[in-house]
Structure 1
Amino acid sequence: MEVRSVPSSNSLPLDLPGISSEMLGVAEEAFRAGNFELAAEIYGSQLDELPHPERSLHVRRGDALALAGKIADALNAYTKAAMLGRLHPEELGVLVESIALNIREKELKLPCFRRKDDHGPINEAYQGMPVPCAINIPEDPSESSLSLDLFSCPKCKMLLLDPVTLNCGHTFCKKCLSEKESIECSNCHSKHSNIAEGLGKSCEGLKVNVVLGNLLEKWLGEETRIRRLSLEGESLLQNNNFTGALEKFTKALELAPGDFLLAVRRTELHLAMKNFKQALIDADNMCRKHLLWPKARSMKAQALSGLGRTEEAMKEFLYCVAINPEWSSMKTEAQKIMCDVFFPAFENVQASLKPVFLNSTNSPSSVKDVSFAGCSEDSLFRLTKASSLESDLFQMKDFLDNAQNTPGNILSCLPSTGLKRKHASNSEEPHSVEITAKFLKKDTETLCEQVITGTKIREIHMVLVDAADFECSLCMRLFYEPVATPCGHTFCLKCLERCLDHNPHCPLCKENLSQYLASRAYKKTHLTEELITRYLPEDLTERKKLHDEEIQELSNLNKDVPIFVCTMAFPTIPCPLHVFEPRYRLMIRRSMETGTKQFGMCIADELKGFADYGCMLRVRDVKFFPDGRSVVDTVGLSRFKVLSHGQRDGYHTANIEYLEDKKVEGQEYEELLALHNSVYDQALVWFTYLKDNLKAQILSHFGQMPSKESELQANSSGPAWCWWMLAVLPLENKAQLTILAMTSLKDRLLAIRRVLMFVTRKRPR
């Protein structure tokens, strides 16, 4: 026999007069060990020796008999206790648990449930098997089986209604975001106080994502209408407008008859309005579709109770406890009803019952014990038949029919007793709840799948999918890295950035986006991107191919190289830039996006637009200002010669070739080295004797003068100190450009010497 460690709420004093405390101790030990039949036998023998009945001992004996599976004898014991003092619902906890447990194992065919405080073994038939989720359904199981897919709100888990996209890129129902003043993304936990302050903290301040809102109306129009009706119903319900709320839920259910969440809300509303007949109809329909859903069972029980059909209500409450043994509120309700139905009846017919029930140990006509798990006799809750119990109870039919609300009638209404007694005065049979094991298994598997996955993919007919619904209004192409603005409009990321370079207003509605621009929170809208990936994979592949080609073209550092027309730049020398023009904002951003982080710098030319020689710059850092301006920290890399001039999107471009110094050897190298050392010393002297304030300015802008290099021709542009000196010497741009274009280190050194001699002669003495 399987041992179940079931705690009892009924305490038993061991110091009762006339009772052997030693024997009671043995009985209690047997009870704790799971030998309930022995415990019941000892309790019975002790009761026989008492001169006066002891109520607590009868209750304890009833607990032991109930756990042993002998429900009829247990009822006799509880009845005797009720004769001595009215029973309280909490004293029937063991009886309710035992009945529910046997319903669970014998009728519902579910694995043995192990309590959190139960260390007893699980039924051997289910050892090593995973326990289905449907067995441990929470008190509101509808929350565990909600549909959750791309179109579901991450917060309420239901279909998105009036979708609002936050700056982080996640999308929620408008109502879900407006419930609290502070806006925080439940996905990435990012704060969005700047949006709340800029657009207002009320529901009206949040702007619906136009693209997603239109898609939901087009693709899931009926479900959207149902969702809207449901929310309207909830709103009316909060204002205690029950009639209006009922009308909304009814309209929603007409559109979606199979939506069990709507059915639950309408049933709860009927219960609140005391429309118990309608509540029973709704709850019964849900029970037929979801046999193992305790929520539906509980509402059916409440409706039956409200209609005064107490016995049927008790049956449904027992089902709830059988399906979910940890649902304490349902267990309490079952105990209350069982106490009200069983034992007040015993008090009313004490004299009549005494010969049959109260003397079960002496009377041959007493109800035969009904055995459960571990016993060989038929179970009270067996699905196929209960012939032994049925024959025993039918022997008392004449007596029981004359005593209303007696234990016999209650037993016959318990789930699946197998009793099919028809009363002459009652032409209608109670609704049968017999369920085949095969159908139960199928329903269990369905619920398990829903709860485990938590996902139900909504199917979208491809005929509804149109690439035009995902078209950027700026580039007229499929969204690539779609970004939703706070005003609810969606653009390609690159398109939006280019527009904000020129004007801090939405290109469509002209709403001021200064705060959005200042935050630079250009995060992709995850839902829009996922929808494109799922439903337009070929279009996305083509769009990505086009984007990659553009990036590859922009990454070419020889052809169509972006040119910043501003000032002179030299290899190895820092060149900080203040970027404010829209065309150069775009140019800098593209150089960062391509990964090259490079562009050319040339001085202006009145005829050609920019000079024929320049220097490539590499971006080391970019700092953005709220209005879109930026400070770009760059450093010179290599010189180039312009082969042809061009333009792209407003800024200059050029085809270029890079310049390298011509290398020399032998005697020429020795002469070059001597010249190099001489000019370096001359430059060092000049810099040393500069005024302190002028020297400080040079050091703060260009840094220390580089030291001499051991190998003059290691760098294709020559020693770094030459370029540092050329940058700090007071020369016009044209003169600097001439020296920049030289490919002979010797010529460059001679030019620097001439400049040094000139500035030294003009230095005041």
Structure 2
Amino acid sequence: LVHLQSRASPAPPGCRTSSQLQPLPRPRGRSSHARAFRGGNFELAAEIYGSQLAELPQPERGLCLRQGDALARAGRMAEALEAYSAAARLARLRPEELRELAESLALRLREKALRLPPWPGGAAEGAGEALGDPACCRPPALLGCPRCRRLLCEPVTLPCGHTRCRRCAEPGGCCCPTPRRPASARLNVVLGNLLEKWLEGESRARRLRAEGDELRDGQELAAALEKYSQALESAPCKCSLIAQRAELYIMVKNYQQALHDADALCQTRPLWPKGHYVKAQALSGLGRTEEALKEFLYCVALNPDWSLMKKEAQKVHHLSNLGGDTVLENSATLALREIPAILVDASDFECSLCMRLFYEPVTTPCGHTFCLKCLERCLDHNPHCPLCKEELSEFLASRTYKKTLLTEELIVRYLPEELAERKKVYEEEMKELSNLNKDVPIFVCTMAFPTIPCPLHVFEPRYRLMIRRCMETGTKQFGMCLADELKGFADYGCMLEIRDVKFFPDGRSVVDTVGVRRFRVLNHGQRDGYNTANIEYLEDKKVEGAEYEELVSLHDSVYDQAVAWFTSLKDNMKAQILNHFGSMPGKESEPQSNPSGPAWYWWLLAVLPLENRAQLAILAMTSLKDRLIAIRRVLIFVTRKRPR
């Protein structure tokens, strides 16, 4: 507490006897002083408080304190001290009662001694910066850990795609809902190598500092001091490290050495509040309380939102001799640090699988980085890292291949031209894969028909890749053809559209598709292990007049025949068909409205007991009349042959 009560000084203005007072206007109400104070009219508030004190037979301690606050805010420091002294004689002062005085002194110091502009105020962020590293010690753009705000040390990439220091990559170290670091998470090799190449000395100092932090946390203070001293030898900017070492000296009560480090800080970075903070702590430890108070006030003057320093300033003894006319030189605001262009090499960001610049980089739990599409393709064949062969079954099962955001941001910042070219190549590949006439992916398996669902169980690596590409391009379509011993697959097929995909932990998937259009194969090909084809789509030839009337009559007749056949089936057989293919579509009023003909026809062709080759021959027909005649023959045949 401030020992103001020991000062033998006359009563402050407003605490004199009535005979000594000049007549003052009587305040309009008890709250007028509060309104004046809140409105910033501190001179008026001080006079009102003085007037109220003059009317009392004995000074009231609370009024003396409030008068001192108003005088301090008005800049009348000598009179303010007298008012506080009057309050102290009535009862010992508490630190919190000197808040206005401490703030007023600090703001006056900011204006008169530091010659700084008025504080913008209200920024909680500013208080955090007071203890943060100065601009000169901050890492280059993008290479700082978002949690500790220092240069990344042993960078670990979390499953969410964000990168943190190893020590910072713990629960709560990321804003994502589930960023928990797997127990087996390793150093991100690409980013670790970049830090060593771009910032060799700074990275070494950062590692030594991290080792010192661990020793300090374990109360091995002498060893921690040694690590900090070693780190200072490599650090390009030493301010932050010196401050940390000074704090450690204070912990071991070596206040003289702490003061030596703090003095160096205040000379190097005169407008960094942290330097004055550690200096104040060192001076307090040495019992030099008046000098300590001055440093605490410097902290508040440099950052008035720093509430901790206000409390410290309120606690320090002896408010006399509060600072001289020392003017601290302004520090220029440092621009964001950048990596020299000569150190940036595109080969440092090269995927070891495609040997091209990373596109959508993904880091595995073992710390290796690949293009997303390259990694997925490798995991189709083998659930192991392509480089170190570590098992990635759990990583594969989660299917949460989040992009490594920092690697991508570094490429965007330092290799924009190379990235633009890489993106162009990728988009050209996607455009080529999106072509539904040329090099169309072909799934060689079974018969498929327009409008009919066709669920598929995909387990072969080549088809995993094919399905994924269909999803990535947005077409969600591929062709289905029967196998052919000579050509590889049949000359006719049906395009399927993917409606849903369900993945299993081992990489298998169930793909829900439905038939869309028929096609004819013009020529066969292959891409990355799966079949492709150039195709042309088939459409029924439309008829008019008498031919149309004949077609409608035939259509209705065959439909009725189909309904009669299905109705005559045994219940268990009907149940199997309905379970697999669903109900038979209704008869359409216009048989030629769809280029492939009515939906009920394809449903019937799918459920009839026909060999695949016979179904394929009917699929290839472009005459609805011919198909209706063919299916009528089949219906007659199966009706006659059905066992009674």
After TM superposition, the score normalised by the length of structure 1 is 0.73
Q: Is 1:150 matched up with 2:129?
A: no
In the other structure, the counterpart of 1:713 is 592
Give the one of 383, 389, 400 matched to 1:510.
389
Give the one of 497, 514, 524 matched to 1:645.
524
Residues 681, 512 of structure 1: alpha-carbon distance in 2 compared, 3 angstrom cutoff: same
- 1:93-150 CA-to-partner distances (Å, cap 9, x unmatched) read 665555444323333345667xxxxxxxxxxxxxxxx559699545943269655731
Q: Is 1:108 matched up with 2:109?
A: no
Q: Which runs of 5+ in 2 are unaligned?
A: 1-10, 37-41
How far apart are the structure 2 equivalents of 1:317 and 1:565? 79
Give the one of 316, 332, 335 matched to 2:295.
316
Q: Is the 2:453–2:513 contact (alpha carbons within 8 Å) kept by the matching residues of 1? A: yes
Task: Write the letter of the residue equivalent to 1:313.
Answer: A
- 1:194-245 CA-to-partner distances (Å, cap 9, x unmatched) read x63xxx3xxxx32111111111111122211111111111111112222221
Q: Is the 1:574–1:633 contact (alpha carbons within 8 Å) kept by the matching residues of 2? A: yes
Task: Write the letter of the residue equivalent to 1:150.
Answer: L
Residues 89, 524 of structure 1: alpha-carbon distance in 2 compared, 3 angstrom cutoff: closer
Residues 613, 269 of structure 1: alpha-carbon distance in 2 compared, 3 angstrom cutoff: same
Partner-residue secondary structure (3-state), 2:533: strand
In the other structure, the counterpart of 1:370 is none
Give the one of 167, 170, 175 matched to 1:187.
175
Q: CA deviation at 1:475?
A: 1.6
How far apart are the structure 2 equivalents of 1:636 and 1:59? 87
Q: Is the 2:156–2:187 contact (alpha carbons within 8 Å) kept by the matching residues of 1? A: yes
In the other structure, the counterpart of 2:241 is 262
Bigger mean CA offset, 304-313 vs 559-568: 304-313
- 1:584-636 CA-to-partner distances (Å, cap 9, x unmatched) read 11111111111111111111111111111111111111111111111111111
Q: CA deviation at 1:75?
A: 5.7
Q: Is the 1:135–1:324 contact (alpha carbons within 8 Å) kept by the matching residues of 2? A: no
Task: Write the letter of the residue equivalent to 2:545.
Answer: G
- 1:44-98 CA-to-partner distances (Å, cap 9, x unmatched) read 9799x99xx9999998887776666555566667778888998776776665555
Q: Is 1:176 matched up with 2:163?
A: no
Task: Write the letter of the residue equivalent to 2:204.
Answer: R
Q: Is the 1:484–1:491 contact (alpha carbons within 8 Å) kept by the matching residues of 2? A: yes
Q: CA deviation at 1:172?
A: 1.2
Q: Is the 2:65–2:84 contact (alpha carbons within 8 Å) kept by the matching residues of 1? A: yes
Partner-residue secondary structure (3-state), 1:175: coil
Q: Is the 2:159–2:179 contact (alpha carbons within 8 Å) kept by the matching residues of 1? A: no
Matches within 5 A, 1:6-85: 33=36, 34=42, 35=44, 38=47, 71-72=77-78
Bigger mean CA offset, 565-574 vs 463-472: 463-472
How far apart are the structure 2 equivalents of 1:612 and 1:639? 11
- 1:614-672 CA-to-partner distances (Å, cap 9, x unmatched) read 11111111111111111111111121111211111111111212222222222222222
**RMSD between aligned alpha carbons?**
3.6
How far apart are the structure 1 equivalents of 2:67 and 2:408? 67
In the alignment of these two chains, the number of paired residues is 618
How far apart are the structure 2 equivalents of 1:660 and 1:87? 97
After TM superposition, the score normalised by the length of structure 2 is 0.86
Residues 540, 96 of structure 1: alpha-carbon distance in 2 compared, 3 angstrom cutoff: closer
Higher relative contact order (CA closer than 8 Å, sequence separation 6+): 1
In the other structure, the counterpart of 1:404 is none
How far apart are the structure 2 equivalents of 1:617 and 1:251? 66
Q: Is the 1:642–1:657 contact (alpha carbons within 8 Å) kept by the matching residues of 2? A: yes
Residues 82, 550 of structure 1: alpha-carbon distance in 2 compared, 3 angstrom cutoff: closer
Q: CA deviation at 1:762?
A: 1.0
Partner-residue secondary structure (3-state), 1:177: coil
Give the one of 402, 416, 421 matched to 2:324.
416
Q: Is the 1:321–1:330 contact (alpha carbons within 8 Å) kept by the matching residues of 2? A: yes
How far apart are the structure 1 equivalents of 2:466 and 2:478? 8
Residues 149, 29 of structure 1: alpha-carbon distance in 2 compared, 3 angstrom cutoff: same
Partner-residue secondary structure (3-state), 1:616: strand
Q: Is the 1:43–1:61 contact (alpha carbons within 8 Å) kept by the matching residues of 2? A: no
Partner-residue secondary structure (3-state), 1:612: strand
Q: Is the 1:31–1:64 contact (alpha carbons within 8 Å) kept by the matching residues of 2? A: no
In the other structure, the counterpart of 1:497 is 376
Matches within 5 A, 1:534-683: 534-683=413-562
Residues 208, 752 of structure 1: alpha-carbon distance in 2 compared, 3 angstrom cutoff: same
How far apart are the structure 1 equivalents of 2:289 and 2:63? 29
Q: Is the 2:523–2:535 contact (alpha carbons within 8 Å) kept by the matching residues of 1? A: yes
In the other structure, the counterpart of 1:288 is 267
Structure of greater Rg: 1
Q: Is the 1:139–1:327 contact (alpha carbons within 8 Å) kept by the matching residues of 2? A: no
Q: Is the 2:134–2:240 contact (alpha carbons within 8 Å) kept by the matching residues of 1? A: no
Q: Is the 2:49–2:63 contact (alpha carbons within 8 Å) kept by the matching residues of 1? A: no
Q: CA deviation at 1:190?
A: 2.6
- 1:358-408 CA-to-partner distances (Å, cap 9, x unmatched) read xxxxxxxxxxxxxxxxxxxxxxxxxxxxxxxxxxxxxxxxxxxxxxxxxxx
In the other structure, the counterpart of 1:754 is 633
Q: Is the 2:147–2:173 contact (alpha carbons within 8 Å) kept by the matching residues of 1? A: no
Q: Is the 1:66–1:98 contact (alpha carbons within 8 Å) kept by the matching residues of 2? A: yes
Q: Is 1:242 matched up with 2:221?
A: yes
Partner-residue secondary structure (3-state), 2:169: helix
In the other structure, the counterpart of 1:221 is 200
How far apart are the structure 1 equivalents of 2:74 and 2:636? 116
Partner-residue secondary structure (3-state), 1:636: strand
How far apart are the structure 2 equivalents of 1:697 and 1:600? 27
How far apart are the structure 1 equivalents of 2:65 and 2:629? 116
Residues 693, 177 of structure 1: alpha-carbon distance in 2 compared, 3 angstrom cutoff: same
Q: Is 1:141 matched up with 2:131?
A: yes
- 1:437-456 CA-to-partner distances (Å, cap 9, x unmatched) read xx4xx44x73xxx7xxxxx6
How far apart are the structure 2 equivalents of 1:253 and 1:96? 35
How far apart are the structure 1 equivalents of 2:101 and 2:163? 51
Residues 552, 75 of structure 1: alpha-carbon distance in 2 compared, 3 angstrom cutoff: closer
Residues 273, 759 of structure 1: alpha-carbon distance in 2 compared, 3 angstrom cutoff: same
Partner-residue secondary structure (3-state), 2:167: helix
Task: Write the letter of the residue equivalent to 2:342.
Answer: V
In the other structure, the counterpart of 2:154 is 162
Partner-residue secondary structure (3-state), 1:623: strand
How far apart are the structure 2 equivalents of 1:661 and 1:45? 109
In the other structure, the counterpart of 1:486 is 365
Q: Is the 2:190–2:348 contact (alpha carbons within 8 Å) kept by the matching residues of 1? A: yes
Q: Is the 1:134–1:292 contact (alpha carbons within 8 Å) kept by the matching residues of 2? A: no
How far apart are the structure 1 equivalents of 2:505 and 2:393? 8
How far apart are the structure 2 equivalents of 1:310 and 1:718? 97
